[in-house]
């Protein structure tokens, strides 16, 4: 009788542990890059490795800001995005885009090594939504890094 009691107690403890671990696994935060691509209905480039990702903690109904840096094996044009070529960071509309991107990086305290070097060649794309959201995609070919700056309010 006593052995059966211990056996049931151990079985219940294992079951409870499995439930807790399952909840932790299910409720873990996902990759902010995946959430960002999903929110903007974009396909994530294959074999993209997330180098850095940060987002505001208070993303009520998806509102807030996010900064993601991905390293790609190939260029992002395979995803079908239309890219503008930014020859100079001083020209329009590049200046307005730069100010918005730097503001997002500043709000999120992005470290310098994951910020853009505006003096280097880059391709960029700006997406806007009716709800006031903006997504800036900036591709630096010499580094194979794709920067994504997201702002939805």
- Indicate the helix (H) or strand (E) that contains 111: none
**Are residues 80 and 15 part of one domain?**
no
pLDDT, tens only, 9-21:
888 888 888 776 6
Task: Show the tokens assigned to 1.
Answer: 């009788």
**Are residues 67 and 23 part of one domain?**
no
**Are residues 55 and 90 part of one domain?**
yes
Domain that holds residue 4: 1-28
**Are residues 23 and 79 part of one domain?**
no
| Torsion sign, CA atoms 90, 147, 116, 65 | positive
**Are residues 125 and 81 part of one domain?**
yes
Is the pTM higher than 0.75? The answer reads: no
**Are residues 142 and 77 part of one domain?**
yes
**Are residues 96 and 49 part of one domain?**
yes
Mean pLDDT of the chain: 78
**Are residues 117 and 146 part of one domain?**
yes
Beta strand pairing status for 64-71 and 84-86? unpaired
Cβ count near 102 (within 10 Å):
15
**Are residues 90 and 17 part of one domain?**
no
């Amino acid at each position: 009788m006593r052995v059966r009691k211990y056996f049931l107690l151990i079985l219940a403890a294992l079951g409870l542990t499995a439930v807790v671990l399952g909840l932790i696994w299910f409720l873990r935060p996902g990759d902010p890059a995946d959430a960002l691509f999903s929110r903007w209905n974009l396909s994530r480039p294959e074999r993209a490795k997330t180098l850095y990702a940060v987002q505001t903690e208070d993303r009520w109904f998806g509102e807030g800001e996010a900064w993601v840096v991905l390293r790609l094996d190939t260029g992002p044009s395979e995803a079908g995005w239309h890219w503008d070529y930014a020859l100079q960071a001083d020209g329009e509309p590049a200046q307005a885009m730069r100010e918005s991107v730097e503001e997002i990086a500043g709000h999120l305290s992005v470290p310098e090594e994951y910020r853009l070097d505006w003096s280097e060649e880059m391709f960029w794309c700006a997406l806007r939504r009716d709800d006031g959201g903006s997504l800036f995609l900036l591709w630096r070919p010499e580094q194979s890094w794709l920067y994504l700056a997201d702002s939805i309010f």
